Amino acid sequence: MNKWSYSLLAVAVGWLAYRYRYRVADWALRVPPLRRQLIRFALNIPAVRGTLVSQMLRP
C-alpha cells in the first residue's frame, strides 16, 4: 500500500476512535489489568495527578 492508503486508513481509524471513544473507554475500564495500567499511566501525568490530589484533599 502506498502513503495515500495509509493516510486514509489512519484518518478512518482516528474518526472511529473519536466517534466511539466512550464505548472504548467503558470496555477498557472493565478489564482489571488494563484498568490498572490506564490508572498508572494517568497518574504519571502531572496535571492529572495534581487535579486528583487537590480534589481528594479538598475539605
The mean pLDDT value for 24-52 works out to 92
Q: Are the C-beta atoms of 43 and 49 separated by less than 8 Å?
A: yes
Give the mean pLDDT of the chain. Answer: 91
Its pTM surpasses 0.75: no
Which carries the bigger pLDDT value, residue 2 or residue 12?
Answer: 12
Beta-carbon contacts of 32 under 8 Å, excluding residues fewer than 6 positions away, are none
pLDDT of 1 above 70: no
The mean pLDDT value for 23-37 works out to 92
Output the pLDDT for position 57.
Answer: 87
